[in-house]
Amino acid sequence: MASRIRPLLRRLQGPRWSRSGTCSSAMAPPRCFALELPDCSLAHFALEDPGAAGAHQDPRLPALLGPPGRSFALCAPAVTGGDCGARVQAARVQQQLQLQLRKGEPFQRCQLHRLLGYSPGEPAAGARHGFLLHDPRAGPDTWGALLQVLGACPEPARPNLGEFEADASGELWLRLWALHGDAQRQVSCARVVPVPAPPVHPVVLDLPSSAVFPDRDAARAVLEECTPFIPEAQAVLNLVDQCPKQLRKGQFPVIVIEGLDATGKTTVTQSISEALGAVLLQSPPSCIGHWRKIFDDEPNIIRRAFYSLGNYIVASEIAEASTRSPVIVDRYWHSTATYAIATEVSGGLQHLPPAHDPVYQWPQDLLRPDLVVLLTVSPEERVKRLQGRGLEKTREEAELEANSIFRQKVELSYRRMENPACHVVDASPSREEVLQAVAHLIRASCY
């Protein structure tokens, strides 16, 4: 392998390579990657960072990237700044690529892992989403199938293609290819060097522009980009535009009930609203609720924009209803934010944004409730309650059941929400005890 790689390096156009294989003219920080492993841990590596060579070892990388299998990296081009249209297009290409890599031969025999590219010290560069495709059999047909799939992607958002190889000494290398039509040209070849994890997960700085929108305008800009291919997006925007931007809550209290499915939200919201003579609302509101399936099938940035704007429509309903009676809301902004964070941030609990991060703060332009109640039950109790319900599951609900790490990330994100924070109520006891606990919270906080 080394005899094939090093002569090739000398023939490459672009940066000149030294005898040690390092790029002598590269002045920018090395590009790093975060690879999500099956146990939800993250393995970090860089391309040609001589300062890190030997300083950090990760035996997981050769086991996954090296022989006897064959591994490929696919990362979307970087989207920087406020180019919302480019973010939407990249997300749609990414989703389509994931669907293609999960079906048909030779991909069904391969393993697919989330891969993030990032540049330490350059937060404006943003994270580049992608995949690592590992073929344990190293089949010769995988390369051709990959080229066919990537060739169908629109060129501005076409993912970059990298191929991992090991030389005679066991060092890992990544060949990077440029695709132009039906032609492929190798543009670089760099050594893979394990590096420590960064202090904060690479996607955290991107969350306000891709998943946890800080205001109505940010979410609105996303759906505006979707109107050419999702007709319902314009209908949602029309409803949002009918809602005043400056809203004031009435003199009656507004209580939000949050929690995973099967924690008793329906029972609590209905019973408490009857006891208080309150108006019962839900997010997303009924005026757009029948479009949920359409947006649930879209990439996360579009799905989150839909749910975020639904909160602003609900806020308009809350403002009007709270002038006449108390208001109970079945889910609101906290639900939108927690699921977005848990979905976007790969890895385990330790990779979530740290407590008090701005992503956990309530949007300044969204009507704020007086109290948020978070219902919780043990995983075992929740599974027992879900059995036999016979309801169609959303993609996220299926993920909650299949992936305990995802469920724990949602729950921890709920607990880190601030201004307002969630008041946790154990919903495992009897119905009467849970209702008494929630009623006590409401009396103490709102009356």
Q: What's the pLDDT tens digit per position in 223-277?
A: 999 999 999 999 999 999 999 998 999 999 999 999 988 788 989 999 999 999 9
Please, what sign has the CA dihedral across residues 422, 427, 432, 437?
negative
This prediction's pTM: 0.87
Identify the three-state secondary structure at position 192.
strand
CA 413 → CA 47, 144, 184, 337, distances in Å? 33, 42, 43, 8
Q: Which CATH superfamily hosts domain 206-446?
A: P-loop containing nucleotide triphosphate hydrolases (3.40.50.300)
Q: Largest Cα–Cα distance in the chain?
A: 80
Looking at residue 205, the DSSP 8-state letter turns out to be G
- Do the beta carbons of residue 69 and residue 163 sit within 8 Å? no
- Do the beta carbons of residue 330 and residue 282 sit within 8 Å? yes
Structure tokens given for 367: 């009507």
Altogether, the residues listed in the chain come to a count of 447
Residue type present at position 41: S
How many whole angstroms separate alpha carbon 150 and alpha carbon 160? 9
Which are the contacts of 322, defined by CB distance < 8 A and separation ≥ 6? 249, 250, 251, 252, 253, 254
Please provide residue 372's backbone torsions phi and psi, each rounded to the nearest 5 degrees: -120, 120
How many whole angstroms separate alpha carbon 396 and alpha carbon 394? 5
How many whole angstroms separate alpha carbon 2 and alpha carbon 11? 15
Which are the contacts of 311, defined by CB distance < 8 A and separation ≥ 6? 283, 284, 332, 333, 336, 366
Among the residue ranges 17-31, 104-118, 366-380, 389-403, the one predicted with the least confidence is: 17-31
348 pLDDT more than 80? yes
Which are the contacts of 280, defined by CB distance < 8 A and separation ≥ 6? 269, 270, 273, 328, 330
pLDDT band at residue 110 using 50, 70 and 90 as cut-offs: very high
167 pLDDT more than 90? no
Structure tokens given for 389: 């319900």
More confident site: 343 or 378: 343
Residue 402: what pLDDT? 55
Q: What angle do CA 307, 311, 316 make, to 5 degrees?
A: 145
- Interval 53-75 mean pLDDT: 82
Residue 393: what pLDDT? 54
> Where exactly are the structural domains of the chain?
2-194, 206-446
Q: How far is CA 397 from the centre of its chain?
A: 15
Among residues of the chain, what percentage have pLDDT more than 70?
A: 86
Q: Which residues pair with 418 in a beta bridge?
A: 361
26 pLDDT more than 80? no
290 pLDDT more than 80? yes
How many whole angstroms separate alpha carbon 200 and alpha carbon 214? 19
- Interval 110-125 mean pLDDT: 86
Structure tokens given for 122: 């350059």
How many whole angstroms separate alpha carbon 157 and alpha carbon 49? 27
Strand-strand pairing, 183-194 and 160-166: unpaired
Residue whose entry in the numeric block shows the structure tokens 């969630």: 422
- Do the beta carbons of residue 61 and residue 194 sit within 8 Å? yes
- Do the beta carbons of residue 347 and residue 40 sit within 8 Å? yes
Residue 401: what pLDDT? 55
Looking at residue 215, the DSSP 8-state letter turns out to be S
Give the other-Cβ count within 10 Å of 80's Cβ. 12
360 pLDDT more than 90? yes
How many whole angstroms separate alpha carbon 173 and alpha carbon 179? 19
* Mean of per-residue pLDDT scores for the chain: 86
Give the other-Cβ count within 10 Å of 242's Cβ. 9
441 pLDDT more than 60? yes
Best CA proximity match to 57, nearest among 178, 222, 194: 194
Residue 354: what pLDDT? 95
- Interval 106-127 mean pLDDT: 87
pLDDT band at residue 151 using 50, 70 and 90 as cut-offs: confident
DSSP annotation string for 102-155: TSSTTGGGSEEEEEEEE-TT-GGG--EEEEEEEETT--THHHHHHHHHHHTS-G
Q: What are the tens digits of pLDDT across the range 185-232?
A: 888 888 898 988 999 999 999 999 999 999 999 999 999 999 999 999
